[in-house]
Amino acid sequence: MPVIYKILFEVKLMHEFYFTTKDGNTIFEKATQAERLVFLKGKYQKGSPSVANDLEFDFPESLKAAYSSYCLKILPSFSGFKVAIKVNKKILADETIAYQPFVPLPGNLAITVLITKKNGDVDSYSNSRINTSLPALYYFSNDKVISGNTFPFLTNAISEFNSNYTYEHGELVAFGNNDIRGYFQNSAGDQWQVFTGAGFANENDRILLPTKFNYSFPAESNVKDVEFILKSPGGGAVKSIRANGTDRMEKIQLDFSDKKDLLSLPASSRPTDRLFTLEVNGDNYMRTHFIFFSDVLYNRAVWGVTSFVLNPANPDFKLFASDGYLVTRKRLSGDEDPPLFEIPIKSRFAFWRYAHQRGDQILISLDLAGFLVEEEVDPGVTVKRLISVRPRALSSVYFKVQNESGTDSKYLPNPVSYSISRDKAGRPCFDIMVPESDLFQVI
């Protein structure tokens, strides 16, 4: 009999950095998965790069032997990966060709795929908090983790606006259904940029930690006495750690390795069976964090971990149909569509700051008015740099800067380095060096 492998499922990482057009439109403006796949196909046919240039996908070393025994293989694809499985085929009564695993899979099997960084670029151009309390990695699943998944996205829901929370520039916030915004500040104070799209990777997906890690307190806190209570998925207390001192705490190491046997449950368990809660209570400081522990999977070279169960809580994400065969099957039309899941990722959202390459003072010409303003500096200091009136998402293609109202745009030099600087107000900036020209006139 011929050896047959079929795709069990596929994952696409849809990153704004690579999937923005020159006119500033993004893949997230495509409302349906079918439309997004057409967008991807166009990029692929043009030989365009994707986030897979900076990431690689593989099974964890500790699980490769087990997955091999189940005849599972991982394959790279444009902007993502596929997991294939050896199968036997069967023709059903309606002449559909269905597929059954060559080696029966245990019902509680979880298929884990590591997303590892080839370089540090993806951290530079991806939108995420820079200052976090926990050094957690991304964890995605086709099963429920914190919130129920919305097909086809493997991400948790973005948190609703919280007036008691200090947002970082670019952080994503939900203001209701289909209303996702990013936080930023300008001269008028707090602002919110509306983003088109849904299912973005966000801070609620950053939950993977080792059993020993550092907890960092926000700069605006003044905690001198604090208690950490780790609770099990069922809500029972696992361990309590108390710390106090005379000075403000900045960072403290939390060690739960003595509870490793309890925290490191079998890889075959469902995500909700492994989701612990860390409650932090201190001086005018209260936080609750969800944590998925794994000393085996946690590695700073890893960008994220994906985990797939065979029959998740939401049937839209299932890998096997109710008849026991793969969801993937060949229909009379010839179509063979395996389950395809998405991880949408926003680009880093920052101000663009322009400086003359020799350090001369730049004038705001009529062409730049409304798009750039003089950078705020200390009294008595000569203003030499100009800064965009609105922050802009990074893109691998050359595209436009917006005016303050967002109603007009203009081509200006784009960042070539994604190292983040800060202006006087602490806002993140990408610095752009420019020569003297009719557009950038100097004194």
Domain boundaries, the chain: 4-157+302-345, 211-292, 348-443
Does position 267 have pLDDT exceeding 70, yes or no?
A: no
Does position 91 have pLDDT exceeding 80, yes or no?
A: yes
SS3 322: coil
Hey, what are 197's tokens? Answer: 């799209």
* Mean predicted confidence (pLDDT) in 105-126: 95
pLDDT confidence tier of residue 1, bands split at 50, 70 and 90: low
Fold (CATH) for 211-292: Immunoglobulin-like (2.60.40)
pTM of the model: 0.93
Dihedral (CA of 259, 265, 267, 271) sign: negative
- Measure the CA–CA gap between 295 and 208, rounded to whole angstroms: 9
Q: Which neighbouring-strand residues pair with 402?
A: 409
Using a pLDDT cut of 70, give the percent of the chain over it. 98
Q: Which residue has the higher pLDDT, 187 or 214?
A: 214
Does position 398 have pLDDT exceeding 80, yes or no?
A: no
Smallest CA-to-CA distance from 392 within 403, 378, 377, 379 is with 403
Q: Which residue has the higher pLDDT, 406 or 424?
A: 424
- Measure the CA–CA gap between 437 and 365, rounded to whole angstroms: 11
Hey, what are 268's tokens? Answer: 């075959």
Mean pLDDT, the chain, whole residue set:
92
Q: What are the tens digits of pLDDT across the range 381-397?
A: 888 899 999 998 899 88
Does position 90 have pLDDT exceeding 90, yes or no?
A: yes
Distance of CA 367 to the CA centre of its chain: 36
Hey, what are 261's tokens? Answer: 């046997």
Does position 72 have pLDDT exceeding 90, yes or no?
A: yes
- Measure the CA–CA gap between 313 and 319, rounded to whole angstroms: 12
pLDDT confidence tier of residue 265, bands split at 50, 70 and 90: low
pLDDT confidence of residue 355: 92
Q: In one letter, which amino acid is 388?
A: S
Phi (first) and psi of residue 316, to 5 degrees: -65, -20
- Measure the CA–CA gap between 111 and 10, rounded to whole angstroms: 12
Dihedral (CA of 123, 126, 132, 138) sign: negative
- Measure the CA–CA gap between 225 and 248, rounded to whole angstroms: 9
Q: Which residue has the higher pLDDT, 442 or 160?
A: 160
Contact 354, 440 (CB under 8 A): yes
pLDDT confidence of residue 352: 92
Contact 184, 109 (CB under 8 A): no
Contact 390, 429 (CB under 8 A): no
- Measure the CA–CA gap between 296 and 326, rounded to whole angstroms: 30
Among 80-94, 115-129, 359-373, the range scoring the smallest mean pLDDT is 359-373
* Mean predicted confidence (pLDDT) in 124-146: 96
pLDDT confidence tier of residue 443, bands split at 50, 70 and 90: confident
* Mean predicted confidence (pLDDT) in 20-41: 94
pLDDT confidence tier of residue 301, bands split at 50, 70 and 90: very high
Does position 98 have pLDDT exceeding 70, yes or no?
A: yes
Contact 422, 169 (CB under 8 A): no
SS3 95: coil
Q: Which residue has the higher pLDDT, 411 or 307?
A: 307
Q: Which neighbouring-strand residues pair with 344?
A: 14
